[in-house]
Structure 1
Amino acid sequence: MLYLSLHKDICRTELFQEAYLENGILELPEYMSYVNYFRKKYLPVIPHFGMAGWMLVLGLNRYFRHERIRLRAAFGVLPRNLWVRISAMLAHDIPVILLVGPNFPFVWGKHRLNMYHRSPEGEYSPSCQIKAHFVTVTGMDDTWMRVSSWGKEYYINRQEYVNYVKKHSSFLISNICYIKSRK
């Protein structure tokens, strides 16, 4: 919401006035005050479970309605449309929230998806593994998605993501938060 508010005039609200004055550069305490505000009012996190994609969408749509922002969020796109929708959102400078869902139907399963670091020479090496985790897609090519997780840059191999979802999760719970203009 902070990114949209800073980069899209239709998303500017009084809530982020302090961020506008600071050109979007906030110290951790100010940033955390926004995080806590959204957790309390729009995006509750359930202890030991986190947040499901549908809960994220409900909270975002509630915020959009409350602030009269003409956007609409939906969780999930058809698998055949996934890369097209991500590309379109990135082209329109809309952050793409990607959920790497839990194992399904056995949510306590141990299967995970690799995230990679990229060396200055352009080589990718495994860095960590995730499941049941939201990341923000910040770029994409034919093979890789550049993502941000907890403020750090990683890469996810697109084919590995598809394989993880097909074999160990489901596109019903591993998908994107699709944000588009509301008519």
Structure 2
Amino acid sequence: MVGACPGTYILLLRLAEDAEINIGRSNNGKTLFTAGHYGYVGSALGPGGLGARLKRHASTSVRKHWHIDYLLERATLLGAQVFAGRERLECRLAGRLKALATSCVAGFGASDCSCDGHLFFLSAAGGGRALIELAGRGLNGRYHPVAQLRVHPLAPSEVTR
């Protein structure tokens, strides 16, 4: 079943207004996030795969575990660009998105790699979806609006291998 297949994703988020957010339990200070569109690169290579991870991100009541959980308390998840498969694309996609983005949130989501970060400010106005699709060009990704992430696991026809 594709819902349980492993893969990598880019979340498209919108923050309606500037916000100071405490990211993580050990963060002594708050990080200022500018209102606008963000792209977050993550992976789901373990049990449950893409379906479980994306459904978790789309849920409004989750125990905070990752950096992204703290941001999702304030931001709206608009959708996700999904890349099914076992290939580790997370850092590659982060590098591509960094080249397209306005800025990178240093250290965010990159505690287990040498990337500058995995969260990127895309724009204040819009156009975020086009940027995350451009970052994944040639890697057989597919965009899914948030309604598909909440309602059901991804169907086989919705993910390109």
* TM-score relative to the length of structure 2: 0.25
Q: Relative contact order, CA 8 A, sep 6+: which one is greater?
A: 2
Larger Rg: 1
Q: Considering fraction of residues, name the structure with more helix.
A: 1
* TM-score relative to the length of structure 1: 0.23
